[in-house]
Amino acid sequence: MQVTLREFELPLLRPLLTAHGSIAVRRGIEVRVGDDACVGAGEAAPLSGFGVESYDEALAALERWAENPEGEPPREPCAAAAVESALTQLDAEIEGVTLSTLLAENPPAQRRIATHALVSDLDPEAAAQRAAHAAATGHLAVKLKVAAHDHAQAGGNGGAAATIAEQSVRIAHVRHSLPAGVALRLDANGGWDRATAVKVLRPVGHLDIEFIEEPTPQAADWAQISRTVGLPVAADEHLRDADALDRLIEVGAIEVAVLKPAVLGGPHATYDLARRAAMRGVRSVVSSFICGPAGLRIARETAVAVDPHGVHGIGTATLFAEALPEDVTPAGGYLPVPTEASAGAV
């Protein structure tokens, strides 16, 4: 089996603002395995602050594995996911099926899957305009990055109370800019403490918001926050394995699991985690890790297997300055789903 590693950089069209910092460029390592007849591809692109290995650690782990691909796979989260993704896609190529069919055996036949739009503009009017444009172009959901605003305002005039008020206003502006049929998802990336989360969310809890993702760094806060503000909570960074999922469900902390194949060990591990969540009454949203083409293909196929009728966070190709391939770039709010005949395009 041949193994090829290729490093890449993809600048974003504009910085993506999160509670973990601003993301301006994505560096990654594409992993390709197979031969001239069949190839599988995966991708490792760690992000600082998201609880995974560094880029250098991922690259070193992949280089070690590439020297002996029959040996133990990497243990580092992103590197391990890249290897498993490439090998799983290679298996699908050899069998002549899509990766989603390999995972779910009999996923519903469909030609497209819905994606949400990602908005991080700090200015309420700018955020509302971008969200409204996303809805007008066909997106059924918008995810708004929150809590990053608090970090940007830290040390400025107005203090914490002004920042809290501005956050609530910004969320309300975005919600009011969206039609009733378009969902609003909030993602704090753990950037608030419990008191701030409640103060920001209580004024907007009645505005038909689908969920708040990772409101604080402490999952022990989430059930109380949910009861106080009236919003379901979703987990992302706290989901690293089945044990973590079980703990969150047992304490009533979450109603939604946001699952990233790029950090959860690849498509098989993600699909198994989604099935485990579903058996406990928790639904799943599959998300990219602001991936390049190889990672987006893995996320798309996993989303089709997990919930083909859901709205997933796999439309991030539009965040990049350069155009990515058409099969991973959303059009009208949807990504195309490959047929068995086209499954080999990597």
pLDDT tens by residue, 98-140: 999 999 977 777 899 999 999 999 999 999 999 999 999 999 9
Task: Tell me the C-alpha distance between 16 and 333, whole Å.
Answer: 19
β-strand pairing of 211-213 with 233-235: parallel
Verify that 89 and 212 share a domain, yes or no.
no
β-strand pairing of 283-286 with 256-259: parallel
Final residue belonging to a domain, choices 48, 69, 97: 97
Question: Looking at residue 20, which CATH number applies to its domain?
Answer: 3.30.390.10
- pLDDT reported for residue 108: 72
Verify that 34 and 6 share a domain, yes or no.
yes
Residues 146 and 200 sit within 8 Å (Cβ to Cβ): yes
In a domain, 103, yes or no: no
In a domain, 106, yes or no: no
- pLDDT reported for residue 150: 53
Q: Can you list the residues of the chain whose pLDDT is less than 70?
A: 149-162, 340-346
Verify that 137 and 33 share a domain, yes or no.
no
Verify that 89 and 117 share a domain, yes or no.
no
Which domain covers residue 8, as residue numbers?
A: 2-97
In a domain, 319, yes or no: yes
In a domain, 104, yes or no: no
Please tell me the total count of domains within the chain.
2
Verify that 157 and 208 share a domain, yes or no.
yes
pTM of the full structure = 0.94
- Percent of the chain scoring above 70 in pLDDT: 94
Question: Looking at residue 158, which CATH number applies to its domain?
Answer: 3.20.20.120
Verify that 117 and 153 share a domain, yes or no.
yes
Residue of 317, 339, 342, 320 lying closest to 330 (CA atoms): 317
In a domain, 297, yes or no: yes
Final residue belonging to a domain, choices 97, 122, 156: 97
- pLDDT reported for residue 148: 79
Final residue belonging to a domain, choices 31, 65, 97: 97
pLDDT tens per residue, range 18-77: 988 899 999 999 999 998 889 999 999 999 888 899 999 999 999 999 999 999 999 999
Identify the burial level of 13 via C-beta atoms within 10 angstroms of its C-beta, where 0-12 means exposed, 13-18 middle and 19 or more buried: exposed
- pLDDT reported for residue 287: 98
In a domain, 107, yes or no: no
Q: Which two tokens stand for residue 271?
A: 């699909």
In a domain, 102, yes or no: no
